Amino acid sequence: MASDIFGNPLPPEAPEDEGLPPPPPQEGPGLFGDPDPPAAAPPPPPAPVAASGTPYRVLARKYRPQNFADLIGQEALVKTLRNAFAQGRVHHAFMLTGVRGVGKTTTARIIARALNCIGPDGTGGPTPDPCGVCAECRAILADRHPDVQELDAASNNGIDDVRELRERLRFRPAQGRFKVIILDEVHMMSTAAFNALLKTLEEPPPDVKFMLATTELRKVPTTILSRCQTFHLRRVPQDQLMAHFERICGLEAVPAEQEALAMVARAADGSVRDGLSILDQAIAMAGGGGVTAEAVVDMLGLAERGLAVSLMEALMAGDAATALSLSEQAHARGTDPGVVLSDLLELTHLLSRMKSVPALRKDPALPEAERVRGAQLADRLSIPVLARCWQMLLKGLQEVAQDGVDRRAAAEMVLIRIAHVAELPTPGDLVRRLTEQGAGAPAGPAAPPPNGGGLRAIAGGGAAVAVAQAVAAPVVEAVAAPVVANYRDIAALAHGRKPMLHAHLVHSVHPVKVTPAPAGGTAGGRIEIRVKPDAPRDLAQQITALLLEFTGTRWTVALSNAEGEPTLADQGRAAESDRRALARTHPLVQAVLEAFPGATIEAVRDASLDNYGLPPPSAFDDTDPGRDFAPPDAEPAGLDDDISPED
């Protein structure tokens, strides 16, 4: 390297031909033979391409709906928007809410095209069926339209972002008919940003439309919601998802088993995008072949549906050994123990629905194992047994999810418990059995519960029957019909039995008049009440049903405009206030209050009062205000030194 006189390196000299055009290529051999060919640049890595040679697009993007007709499972939304366009009543702000992947942003883009479409001939107006071929539609489809702006509110959630947006809205559309602002995940905006957007959202320029999308509607301020038309995009039903996935597999020329598509639809949980992502993965896993149920099970880590049915059969038969063997098979396949319990929980729900809705057994969307073997299980099990299994599985899932717990061991303990109780009758079966046989019947072999308590015959006797007799004894005793003489008797009937009705009877009803039922007759009495505005509309019917259930007669409940008495709650508060005032005037209490400055009367307890703090109707006598205390002329007793101010 060249250096100066001091030894410092000099900068490299520029070549003489710097800045000049390159020399022309050499034609023919040179003086020293053929020139060496220039080194070729390494080729760029090939982009993933489909069979046709074009870059691959995932199914969720390739089959994204382009118009309202392509939206599946959102019939109410489509109908409303079509009618709005037909009548020229398109709102300036829409709030689209729903779970992920149901089409919120897609719907917003379709509305943007519908607002700006000019038709193939360039003379069209807003339409619910955008053509997709005009310059406006093609620009929006390609995400390059200058007047359709899609913003992520998660990253543009500050007040400065909203101010910048408001500044852009001052100008007229550059190309289209409307400026369309799409704000995704709008619930993540800050409070200040919401406040800055509020006025613009309420009175936007005539050529601006807002499309707001969120998965958390409850986090959006009500002031924003009141200025938008809100559309709830519901989860897409499983049968519609299956049909949609089957159509796409046909377009992709990929064979797929119905059971596999059913698994994908169940895993999608109502989300079209999630389902298409799972289907994309299943097609890739098939490697050019068909999508099979076995492959989907392995891919998603699911327990085989037939295994879940077999496991339920073993549990309901009380066969713990077989149940643990099936659990071992699921573990060998790599299935998580929590997934096994979740599948059993889902199967329990399905069996309960089959029990309640028999037509469900013919649902083609159900797998064959659940449709046939599940229906047989539903016939042999009762709702109480299924409900007990549901509760035990819910508790078991919580145990499996605890930190520091062996998940497999916890799941096996849940299975053992379910298999053990399958041999025991439900409490309702015990009560019914003893009611039929009588509480004093001798212990002996018991008949199996009706409708099947489990899949084994249940033999009761000894301690089991003794416990059942102790539980059922209060049920089989003869209980006389209660006597209803006043309004408090009516409220007492609901106390402890119907909590909501009792609360309304105490706080929301002014008793006007109660006419008891005639003695020895079959007719009921009559009640006149005045209800507060917060009382339920069917309160009179609820009171009638209550009295019919416990008295055996039908009472007449009439609504009146008369003032009536205060509510039981008001009566109790007034009585408590009177008792405190009366206690405060008593010489003994006054002596205590004088001896301990700052002491207060916290409560006046009276064992003769009812649940509402009122004395029995027969004992209620205002002429005897001091009945609960010593005579006023009584001499104060000596005060002990250990009395505290709280006493």
* 464 pLDDT higher than 70: no
| Stretch 302-326: mean pLDDT | 84
Is the pLDDT assigned to residue 303 strictly greater than 80?
no
Flag whether 645 is in a domain.
yes
Cα–Cα nearest to 397, from 343, 326, 350 = 343
Does residue 28 carry a pLDDT above 70?
A: no
Q: Where residue 531 sits, what CATH number does that domain have?
A: 3.30.300
Residue 153's pLDDT is 82
Question: In the block, which residue shows the tokens 């909501």?
Answer: 500
Measure the CA–CA gap between 249 and 291, rounded to whole angstroms.
9
Tell me which DSSP letter residue 483 carries. Answer: P
What's the confidence (pLDDT) of residue 475?
39
208 and 74, same domain (yes or no) = yes
User: Measured between alpha carbons, how far apart are the two ends of the chain, in Å?
Assistant: 104
**End-of-domain residue from the set 205, 232, 259:** 232
Establish if 17 belongs to a structural domain. Answer: no
599 band by pLDDT with thresholds 50, 70 and 90? confident
Examine the domain organization and report whether 280 and 325 are in the same domain.
no
d(CA 307, CA 367): 12
Residue with more model confidence, 602 or 413:
413
The rounded distance, in Å, linking the Cα atoms of 282 and 305 is 18
Sheet with strand 229-232: strands edge to edge = 148-152, 179-184, 208-214, 93-97, 229-232
Instruction: Name the average pLDDT for the chain.
Output: 79
Average pLDDT over residues 607-622: 68
The total number of residues shown for the chain amounts to 647
- Give the lowest-confidence range in 256-270, 479-493, 501-515: 479-493
CB 615, CB 609: distance < 8 Å: yes
Angle at 594 between CA 589 and CA 598, to 5 degrees: 100
In a domain, 38, yes or no: no
**Would you say 583 and 604 are in contact if contact means Cβ atoms under 8 Å apart?**
yes
Examine the pLDDT at 588 and tell me if it is beyond 90: no
When pLDDT is averaged across residues 402-428 and rounded to a whole number, the result is: 87
Q: What is the mean pLDDT of residues 110-120?
A: 91
557 versus 37: the higher-pLDDT residue is 557
> Is 85 within the bounds of a domain?
yes
Q: pLDDT value at position 277?
A: 92
DSSP tag of 477: S
Q: What is the pLDDT of residue 393?
A: 94
* Residue 376 pLDDT: 86
> Over 70: is that where the pLDDT of 641 sits?
no
Look at residue 268 in the predicted model and tell me its pLDDT: 87
Average pLDDT over residues 496-508: 87
Closest CA to 233 of 357, 46, 78: 78
Residue 534 in any domain: the answer is yes
**CATH assignment at residue 286:** 1.10.8.60
Of 326, 255, 367, 272, residue with least CA distance to 72: 272
Least confident of 130-139, 205-214, 361-370, 633-642: 633-642
More confident residue, 428 or 186: 186
Residue 438 has pLDDT above 90, yes or no: no
State how many domains the chain has.
Answer: 6
Of 166-180, 453-467, 500-514, give the lowest mean pLDDT range: 453-467
Q: In this predicted structure, what is the pLDDT of residue 231?
A: 92
259 and 381 share one domain: no
Q: Which of 534, 565, 596 is the last residue of a domain?
A: 565
Note whether 620 and 628 are within 8 A (CB).
Answer: no
Q: What is the pLDDT of residue 95?
A: 93
Q: What is the mean predicted confidence (pLDDT) over 325-331?
A: 88
Distant-in-sequence contacts of 331-337, Cβ < 8 A, 24+ apart = 331/408, 333/297, 333/298, 333/303, 333/304, 334/301, 335/301, 335/302, 335/303, 336/301, 336/407, 337/400, 337/407, 337/408, 337/410, 337/411, 337/412
pLDDT on residue 213: 92
Render the burial of 516-554: b for 16+ CB within 10 Å, e for the rest.
ebeeeeeebbebbbbbeeebeeebbebbbbbbeebbebe
Range of the domain at 641: 579-647
Is 573 among the domain residues?
Answer: no
Q: Are residues 72 and 213 in the same domain?
A: yes
Which band of pLDDT confidence, cut at 50, 70 and 90, is reported for residue 247?
very high
Strands of 494-612 (E only): list them: 509-515, 526-531, 556-559
**What's the CA gap between 453 and 443, in Å, rounded?**
20
User: What was the pLDDT predicted at 510?
Assistant: 93
| Residue that is last in its domain, among 232, 266, 286 | 232
Retrieve residue 209's tokens.
């439309």
**What is the 8-class DSSP label of residue 371?**
H
Six token digits for residue 598: 């700052």
Instruction: Report yes or no on 51 lying in a domain.
Output: no
Q: Are residues 193 and 131 part of one domain?
A: yes
Q: What is the pLDDT of residue 517?
A: 81
In terms of domains, do 294 and 315 share one?
no
pLDDT range class, residue 476, cuts 50, 70, 90: very low
Same domain, 557 and 603: no
In terms of domains, do 188 and 215 share one? yes
Confidence category of residue 10, pLDDT binned at 50, 70, 90? low
The reply to whether 630 falls in a domain is: yes
The pLDDT confidence band at residue 22, using thresholds 50, 70 and 90, is low
Which of 98-102, 386-390, 470-474, 587-591 shows the lowest per-residue confidence on average (mean pLDDT)? Answer: 470-474
Same domain, 362 and 217: no
Are 199 and 67 members of one domain? yes
* Whether residue 448 is found in the same domain as residue 504: no
Higher-pLDDT residue of 635 and 488 is: 488
Q: Is the pLDDT of residue 105 over 60?
A: yes
| pLDDT, position 646 | 43
The domain that contains 386 carries what CATH number?
Answer: 1.20.272.10
201 pLDDT higher than 60: yes
What percent of the chain stands above pLDDT 70? Answer: 77
Which residue has better confidence, 65 or 523?
65
Quick check: 536 and 498 in contact, CB under 8 A?
no
Is the separation of the CB atoms in 319 and 419 below 8 Å? yes
Mark whether 417 and 539 lie in a shared domain. no
